[in-house]
Each structure stands twice: as structure tokens, then as C-alpha cells.
Amino acid sequence: MAVTKLQRRKRIKLGIRRKITGTGARPRVSVFRSNKAIYAQLIDDEKGVTLAAVSSRELGKERNNIEVSKETGAKLAEKAKSAGIESVVFDRNGYPYHGKVKAFAEGAREGGLKF
């Protein structure tokens, strides 16, 4: 039986999650992208709490493209700075580090987050 895209992404995602965890001092940035928007959360895995979240819908953008992804990353960096977070662990959530996910990471780095 052939493996679907979602099954493949889930398998990659579990491999990534085995290796990284977020702490209060260095939370995990989890990225999810849909056809219409890109979402991200700062997660403390030790406590099981979301510290900050952002989406491209908050910015009032209708499309999900590379420019919007970069703006969303910058917005997350801004929220992280206001929460006193400077260093994070990046969880690409099984997506390839390319295109919108890469643009999001670059926007967050430009905003001042250290990966």
C-alpha cells in the first residue's frame, strides 16, 4: 500500500519530536501551514503550555505566500521578545525547510529570535 503525503509527514514529524523538546527558557516553535494561512506557537513542553501564538490571519492577510510567512515570523519574534524569550528550538512539524516554512524562520530570525 502506498504511503500518503500526510502519513509521510506524520512519520517525519514524530522523528523530529523525538529529538527536540521545548523548555521554559528555550521553548519550541511549532509551525503549521494550511492552504490559506500559516500558524505558529511557542510551546513549553515541560509544562505543556503555549506561551505565545501567531497566525497570518491575525495580520489580516487573505493569502498565504512567502511574504506573509515572513511577516508572521517577525510578529512571533515580537511577541516572544515581549514575553522575555530570546532563544527557541525550531520544529518544522514534518514540512520541508523550504518556501513558506523557511521564510517564516527567516522572518523570526530577523525579528531577533535565536534558533
CATH number at residue 10: 3.30.420.100
- Look at the chain and report how many structural domains it folds into: 1
Task: Tally Cβ neighbours within 10 Å of residue 64.
Answer: 19
The pLDDT score that the predictor gives to residue 2 is: 86
CB 96 within 8 A of CB 28: no
Q: Which of residues 64 and 79 earns the better pLDDT score?
A: 79
Residue the block writes with cell 511574504:
67
Identify whether the C-beta of residue 88 lies closer than 8 Å to the C-beta of residue 29: yes
Query: Could you give the CA distance from residue 82 to residue 73 in angstroms, rounded to a whole number?
Result: 14
User: What is the average pLDDT value for the chain, to the nearest integer?
Assistant: 93
Q: In what order do the strands lie in the sheet with 49-55?
A: 49-55, 38-44, 28-33, 89-91
Average pLDDT, integer, range 74-93: 94
pTM: 0.89
Per-residue pLDDT band at 90 (split at 50, 70, 90): very high
Q: 59: domain range?
A: 5-110
Is the CB of residue 59 less than 8 Å from the CB of residue 73? Answer: no
Residue 60 lies in a domain: yes
- 11 located within any domain: yes
Q: Are 59 and 77 in contact (CB under 8 A)?
A: no
The cell for 104 is 517564516
| Residue 115 covered by a domain | no
